[in-house]
Amino acid sequence: MKSNDSFVLNFAPTGMVPKRKDSPHVPLSSDEIVEQVHAAVELGITVVHLHARDQDGEPSHDIDLYGEIIGKIRSFAPELVVCVSLSGRKRPDFESRSGPLTLVGDRKPDMGSLTLSSLNFSRQASMNAPEMVQGLAKAMLDRGIVPELEAFDSGMINYANYLIKKGLVEAPFYFNLLLGNPANAQADPLSFGAMLALLPEQSLWGVGGIGGTQAPSAMFGLASGGGVRMGLEDNLFYNADRSRLATNQELLQRVHVMAGLLGKRVMTPAEFRVAMKMAPGNGRYGRDLEKTAGQS
């Protein structure tokens, strides 16, 4: 599933790691996140990948926090595709990780992140046991929520194909290919090409780079006919020598400039919903939408 002129721009503004001491530009409170999403919508994005933070700036799976953020975003961007993080780096239990998937009505997320295997980051591990990955996939399937399939190397794409064969993930698919983590695929053509070769048919995909690999990874994605994941979640600096902190708006603007040079434009949320067979606020077409709406 490639478009000649449009691409998915997936905005990741916050993440789980950056703190105020690391950068004054990282949005932590609900209002800060919503404000920066609003600015991003005006510039042009397709998907927003959300991490909620508590009043102390710590990562949170609290469904009320997620509901507050999503509700405010829907008030000015009802068609924007909203993805919630289901990461287990801070809270490893299923109940916490799957909590945001239980939101209903206008606060129901369109997508949920699904990291496809355990991995080591530079300072901590992200544990994703097979039963956890499959449980989260089943929870999203049951609720008509599209998984954002996060792959850090080719092995994770192999596992996605395994989930597809088991019927836990349905076409069409959306993949985020994350490059540059020390323990996984690097931001080089060989590693990137190996991942692309394994993607199943009916896949939309974007590329994100960690740290200094963010800009080169964005170029890989755009030049190869895919999309881009961009934001302070993955990289705090504007330049390669790390001499200046970036803002989310600057990072997004740079992607727009790159895309313009290639004659590409950002795919609208409405176009993404059609490509992914999604309906506004209710997940995929074909689910029991009346039942879902009745729970709100």
Q: Residue 176 belongs to a domain with what CATH number? A: 3.20.20.70
Mind listing the pLDDT tens digit for each residue in 25-68? 999 999 999 999 999 999 999 999 999 999 999 999 999 999 99
* Segment among 23-37, 49-63, 82-96, 103-117 with least mean pLDDT: 82-96
Tell me the percentage of the chain whose pLDDT exceeds 90. 88
In a domain, 223, yes or no: yes
Tokens at residue 213, please?
A: 């690999």
In a domain, 1, yes or no: no
Tell me the percentage of the chain whose pLDDT exceeds 70. 93
Mean pLDDT on 115-119: 96
Question: Residue 285: its pLDDT value, please?
Answer: 39
In a domain, 62, yes or no: yes
Question: Residue 280: its pLDDT value, please?
Answer: 62
Q: Can you tell me which residue has the tokens 């077409």?
A: 285
Mind listing the pLDDT tens digit for each residue in 196-241? 999 999 999 999 999 999 999 999 999 999 999 999 999 999 999 9
Question: Residue 3: its pLDDT value, please?
Answer: 56
Q: Can you tell me which residue has the tokens 């209710």?
A: 282
Q: Is the pTM of this model over 0.95?
A: no
- The answer on pLDDT for 7 being more than 70 is yes
How far apart, in Å, are the Cα atoms of 125 and each of 6, 117, 183?
A: 35, 11, 10
Q: What amino acid is encoded at 198 in this protein?
A: L
Comparing CA positions, the residue from 30, 79, 26, 11 lying closest to residue 229 is 11
Q: How confident is residue 91, by pLDDT bands cut at 50, 70 and 90?
A: confident
Tell me which residue range forms the domain holding 58.
Answer: 6-294
Q: How confident is residue 89, by pLDDT bands cut at 50, 70 and 90?
A: confident
Q: What amino acid is encoded at 58 in this protein?
A: E
Question: Residue 26: its pLDDT value, please?
Answer: 98
In a domain, 161, yes or no: yes
How far apart, in Å, are the Cα atoms of 283 and each of 81, 153, 160, 245?
A: 10, 27, 20, 36
> How many domains in the chain?
1
In a domain, 125, yes or no: yes
In a domain, 289, yes or no: yes
In a domain, 23, yes or no: yes
Tokens at residue 259, please?
A: 């895309």
In a domain, 137, yes or no: yes
Q: How many residues can be counted in the chain?
A: 296
Rounded CA-CA distance 230/250 in Å is: 10
Rounded CA-CA distance 291/296 in Å is: 9
Q: How confident is residue 139, by pLDDT bands cut at 50, 70 and 90?
A: very high
